[in-house]
A and B are shown apart, each in its own frame.
Chain A
Amino acid sequence: MRDAYVESLNELSQDMIQLAQIVETTITNTWTALESLDNQLASEIYHGNQNINAMVRECMKKDLTISLMQTPVATDWRHLMATQKILYDIERITDNCADICHYIFHLTKEGGVVTPPSGLQEMYRVMASMVVDVLRLYNEGDVKDIDEIDLICDKDDIVDMAFTKSMEEISQKMVQEPNHVRQYISYVLIVKYIERMADHASNITDWILYRSNNTLK
């Protein structure tokens, strides 16, 4: 029954799966660009962000339309409301990727390459795994294992600690190498964006829990 309604929900789910794949690819590519300071790649990612935003907006629009026209309740309602919130976080995550790419330009432009903060790769890796896992959990449906959610929240704590450590390290380096202050400021912003991305991934878990259990932390 309500075939058109069910059809529209399935369509939205398909779109979300596609979107998740694109986000994963973008995050991977952003690291590649950051690690090797590849301007070309960074430029592609930066300019490609508006396409991703368009996709996100498209999904939001579909979500809103279904909610308006079909008066969803119960699971459908929680799913649609959660998806709306999660789409916002996804948009912020990809925007942050573009922002990181922007600062890759700055790093190369300012000549003199500096050493990145020591825990950068590890921090990025943890954050990337958070995003990939959380989107997988979203697309899987009902939460089967609460431990997976807890793991993501724990990883958020790890990223936060890594952020604090990086800030300390960069501050010291700024004192030691005052002529490279501009580059170090770029790195400050980059680790800040990484920390924000982890935060957004953590927010997504809140909405996944709401969708499953009707609990709002």
Chain B
Amino acid sequence: MSRIQHKKKVDKIMTALFFGGTAFAVILLVAFIGFVIVQGFGVMTPDMLSFSGSGLGNMLFNTLYLVFLALLFSMLTGVPAGIFLAEYAHQGKVTHWVRMAIETLASLPSIVVGLFGYLAFIVMTGSQWNLFAGSLAVSILTLPLVTSVTEDALRNLPSSYRQGSLGLGASHWQTIWRVLVPACFPRIMTGLIMAAGRGFGEAAALMFTAGMSTDINWNNWDITSASCPLNPFRPGETLALHIWSLRTEALHPNAAQLASVSSAILMVLVVSFSLAARYISWRLDKKMGGTNS
């Protein structure tokens, strides 16, 4: 066939492949989520969601609280690190090594981080398994992500924001704080969503840090007491860990069903969190006027 016809044919085939690949990924995701949720909610009974004993309510609370703390730590360390790398670091050997260190940190196995957390946060401080240690461990894993998202976001801003601000007599810090960081806020939010996703799903890093038990008394609001929900220095099993323990230790009679329901709840949590964060990001984008995100 002629050259042009051949080109058109190849074009059609490739387009079909691209569509196909994408469709496959979407279908896979939908099927996966669908399967888990349907299976889980199929065997659910109301008392499974309770906030006591073998109910999942406490695990859900722990998961949310832990991820919240982990995000807080990542943000407090990762965002400044990203700002430093984008705005203050000179192109030199030191920056090169810092970057390498961050990339290595990103590819550490979570079980190793968990063991490190056990050593550093549990054994060396002489404490019990606690939520705080767990959130620190997770924040180690999410730190590189937040740092690189922040750094990339800052580097991709038009240099005219910087120039415009400095030209008006702002200091470097004023420029970063008042113009640059607010401008990358949506992207940093996205980075935090991804970090949260990581946190929800962590089991290996939490095994030896956050502990496998939960003993919360919802009537106790004395933050120093070990059974107060808001005390981070108490053991706190998350949903992911719970799934693992249910399927391996199997002490409960309806362990399998509980595991299915846990999975479903975790899935719903992840998806709704992602959607909510995207919505907030979209609203902020609109307010700042349709930046190219």
* Direct A–B contact in complex, judged by CB atoms less than 8 Å apart: no
